[in-house]
Amino acid sequence: MNKKYAPLFDNISLRKGIQLKNRLVMAPMTNFSSNPDGTVTKDEVNYYVRRSRGVGMVITACTYVTENGKGFHGEFGADRDELIPSLRQLATSIKEEGAKAILQIFHGGRMCPPELVPNGETVSASAVAPEGEGQTVPRALAEAEIESIIHDFGEATRRAIKAGYDGVEIHGANGYLIQQFFSPHSNIREDEWGGSLEKRMKFPMAIIDEVKKAVSEHAKEPFIVGYRFSPEEPETPGITMADTLTFVDALADKGLDYLHVSLQDFWSVPRRGVEDKRPRIELILEKAGERVPVIGVGSILTADDAIKAFETGVPLLALGREIIIDPDWVEKVEQGRESEIKTKIDKDAQQQLVIPDPLWQAIVNTPGWFPGV
């Protein structure tokens, strides 16, 4: 290994003493490849196995915690006990390759395709449609339903524990239900679940508490709990960098094992809310990095990209599209073969890359999503 990249391969202990063998994580990415009943497919398991050998931790594609939270065709579920064997199959396969297995748990809220949820009825914090033509107006959740969904996150955590996962990541990013409660665009409630910034933080905080309660009741071994968030929204009104820094300050005191920033570009700068033009990741590290490990992500393609990002002080880096393009990325850097890393998708290499058909079709038919397409 080139000693320049050696810091990426230091191990790290998380809050509960769980050790990761290096600082590299497979980012959670939807692959559209599960069965309609919410079970994982063999193709999906093989896709994860192909990418689990090098990284210290694999965060799975999001899995829905309740029936009306299914956000994607081909998404696997954690909303009922019959799915525990399916969940176990994936966890076991990832762990056998030497990585920690983290189940990302979520509810799609107003972003769910109506055909995937009961009676075609989408729900959210408020009856506010996403921006864009032809978007469905969701139904505002009643208070009892809010409490029920919070409970469902705890139940999904219990199933993850029973299935043998090493942890869960609460998906509070990318415009889904948890973010919808935090956002002034989608949450115009006037009860205890909306209004002020503090009230908009109540739903994510309640979910964290419920997940941690499930861990304390059901986990016999240390169990990781992480939280993912998007720092800003383009909508007006929408989440600003100032909102997020207040939120991150509160999250850092919740006893989480990590915070995971959802970014397309690691070096992106704030859109509004603060005068500071430093990258968002640096502001987040300054606010919370002494209290909780932060995972950075976003267009890290080469070993040099990774080490430059790591030098900001971020302790963990997630690889998303890059680990789909080159599943051997981590091993190549570890073996001093970083010059062999591929940074564009090879459109003739689906079988070699072990990418299931639904994900492959999405990649090759979405210009600009992946380099090389």
Place of tokens 């006990």: 81
- Please give the pLDDT value at position 267: 98
Residue 176 annotated to the active site: yes
- Give residue-wise pLDDT tens across range 345-366: 999 999 999 999 999 999 999 9
- Return the number of other C-beta atoms located less than 10 Å from residue 101's C-beta: 26
Q: Which of 48, 176, 227, 258 is catalytic?
A: 176
d(CA 97, CA 55): 9
CB 96 within 8 A of CB 56: no
- Please give the pLDDT value at position 16: 84
d(CA 105, CA 28): 10
Domains of the chain: 3-364 (3.20.20.70)
* Helices of type H across 99-187: 143-163, 177-182
- Please give the pLDDT value at position 81: 98
Dihedrals phi, psi of 107, to nearest 5 degrees = -135, 130
User: Would the pTM count as exceeding 0.95?
Assistant: yes
Per-residue DSSP letters for 89-101?
A: HHHHHHHHTT-EE
- Please give the pLDDT value at position 326: 98
- Give residue-wise pLDDT tens across range 226-281: 999 999 999 999 999 999 999 999 999 999 999 999 999 999 999 999 999 999 99
CB 316 within 8 A of CB 289: no
- Give residue-wise pLDDT tens across range 292-335: 999 999 999 999 999 999 999 999 999 999 999 999 999 999 99
- Please give the pLDDT value at position 156: 99
What is the pLDDT of the chain when averaged over all its residues?
97
- Give residue-wise pLDDT tens across range 15-27: 888 999 999 999 9
pLDDT mean over 121-137: 96
d(CA 118, CA 129): 18
What's the N-to-C CA distance of the chain in angstroms?
A: 31
Which secondary-structure segment (H or E) carries 225?
strand 224-229
- Give residue-wise pLDDT tens across range 140-192: 999 999 999 999 999 999 999 999 999 999 999 999 999 999 999 999 999 99
- Give residue-wise pLDDT tens across range 140-151: 999 999 999 999
Q: Measured at the alpha carbon of residue 228, what is the angle toward residues 235 and 97, in degrees to the nearest 5?
A: 140
